[in-house]
Structure 1
Amino acid sequence: MKVIDLSYTISEESKVFPGDPTPQLQIINTIEQDGFKQTLLTFVTHTGTHIDAPAHVFKDGKTLDAFLPESFIGAALVIDYHNKSPITMDDLYATGDLYKQADFLLFHQSDGQYLQDYAVLDEEVLDYLVHAPYKGIVFDVMSIDPIDDETLYRHKKILQTNKIMIENLKNLSQCGHQLFTLYALPLKMKASDGAPARVMAILDA
């Protein structure tokens, strides 16, 4: 068994969506003074590697804590589109039938572009994902939408189906092009619109 960590470490240097506050990690107790250490964390729910729930874009949308635990675990496949814009069904067809066997599709761009100029799904792919029985759609960039798209059009299309969406992953190039098991376990917070997650790929050795 091979385990690959697909998550970014949350720190005060973490990249955030433009306009969001950066994480703050404040040590409030020290071993020297108190005999134990504690840190006060302050960050938005969509910091680092995180999961979006429908409540992120819909007033009465399903919150992340309302999803069953099995919603965050399943067969996964990386779709490598090499910064090609837009992402088309041909990128899925290139995997043969594997894309139909996955619970999660992980869209991987070439390493580099992160906050801007990344590819997005074309309308045909978006419609396919809306109607297909995936548990979640995953990206290694900051957003499924272009950074300057204030309508959040693609967020709404996907999240209206009560799928989850996972954004801001790393190390997808290490997962190969075979099916593997994905564990994407978010912090469990009441009525959450989203939450940071520890996301792992489990590959056969």
Structure 2
Amino acid sequence: MTAPVLHDLTHQVTTAMPVYPGDPEVSLHPALTTATAGVNVLSVHLGSQSGTHVDAPYHVDVTWPTLDGLPLERFTGPAVVADLRALPARTAVTADQLAPALALVVPGTVLLLATGWPRFWGTGRYLAHPYLTPEAARAIVAAGVRTVGVDALNVDPTPDPGPGDPAVAALLAGLADDHDPAPAPEPELAAHRILLGAEGGGVICENLTDLTVLLEAQARQKPITVSLFPLRLAAADGAPVRAVASIG
């Protein structure tokens, strides 16, 4: 029997890595070194939503479950990948566009949305990703999916934070030449609220890396299992994960 092949779907955590506009910046630096203390210890400063991470329902509603209130089953399962790579910037993903993938889900399925946006990681274009319409989010929940991952910054549209925000100046430098329209107005974090507010509590994983290898495996009818286990932060809205796919 051939052993499954593991694929890392996690962005490396580095100082000054891209974060959602307004979120805490990421900083890594030596706290102790072998030269001075006999050991190397890294000081790590980041937000709960840094890099490849999961959102718990508490992220959008203080009355909903925190990260430690969710069952471990929410963070792993067989995966189905929706191919959305042909969509232009700031496109609203419809329920019809997800229908082929949703036809393949079973209870416990992790639905992954492949937008192709990891190619823009670290540039202003990364903010202009496709996003779920409320109708698409409701179709996901109606199909029984409780865990959704995306290879982009957000399942909702990410607004342009404006040039006055120094925390995102480097990202905005890349947006100047894109000429993408602003996101259409929607209820604030509508897709988040629908997915996370699903019966039993939902989970969203954002900032996955390139999902092309999973789409290719899916086309060959290879079984795919995804693990998105977060750091065990107490009473948290979310946490960074080491996202790993097992193929075969």
Moved more, 67-76 or 80-89: 80-89
Moved more, 109-118 or 141-150: 109-118
What does residue range 65-104 of structure 1 map to in structure 2 within 5 Å?
A: 65-84=68-87, 85-95=91-101, 97-100=103-106, 103-104=109-110
Identify the residue that residue 54 of structure 1 maps to in structure 2: 57
Cα shift readout 1:93-130 (whole Å, capped 9, x = no counterpart): 33484234661110011244553322122343221122
State TM-score, norm by structure 2.
0.76
Does 2:14 match 1:11?
yes
Does 2:144 match 1:139?
no
Given the alignment, which residue of 20, 33, 38 partners 1:35? 38
Moved more, 33-42 or 190-199: 33-42
SS in 1 for 2:78: strand
Identify the residue that residue 128 of structure 2 maps to in structure 1: 117
Question: How far apart are 1:157 and its partner, in Å?
Answer: 1.4
SS in 2 for 1:154: helix
For the pair shown, which has the larger CA radius of gyration, 1 or 2? 2
Let me know the Cα RMSD of the aligned residues.
Answer: 2.0
Does 2:227 match 1:183?
yes
Question: How far apart are 1:42 and its partner, in Å?
Answer: 0.8
Identify the residue that residue 174 of structure 1 maps to in structure 2: 213
- Whole-Å Cα distance in 1 between the matches of residues 69 and 16 of structure 2? 31
Q: Which structure features the higher share of strand residues?
A: 1
Aligned length: 204
Does 2:172 match 1:128?
no
Identify the residue that residue 177 of structure 2 maps to in structure 1: none
- Whole-Å Cα distance in 2 between the matches of residues 86 and 150 of structure 1? 14
Question: How far apart are 1:29 and its partner, in Å?
Answer: 0.7
Identify the residue that residue 191 of structure 2 maps to in structure 1: 154
Runs of at least 4 residues of structure 1 off by over 4 A? none
- Whole-Å Cα distance in 1 between the matches of residues 73 and 141 of structure 2? 20
State TM-score, norm by structure 1.
0.91
Moved more, 12-21 or 45-54: 12-21
Moved more, 12-21 or 143-152: 143-152
**CA 39–31 in structure 1, closer or farther in 2 if over 3 Å, else same:** same
- Whole-Å Cα distance in 2 between the matches of residues 150 and 14 of structure 1? 28
**CA 83–47 in structure 1, closer or farther in 2 if over 3 Å, else same:** farther
**Overall identity of the aligned pairs, in %:** 28
Q: Tell me, which stretches of 5 or more residues in structure 1 are unaligned? A: none
SS in 2 for 1:93: helix
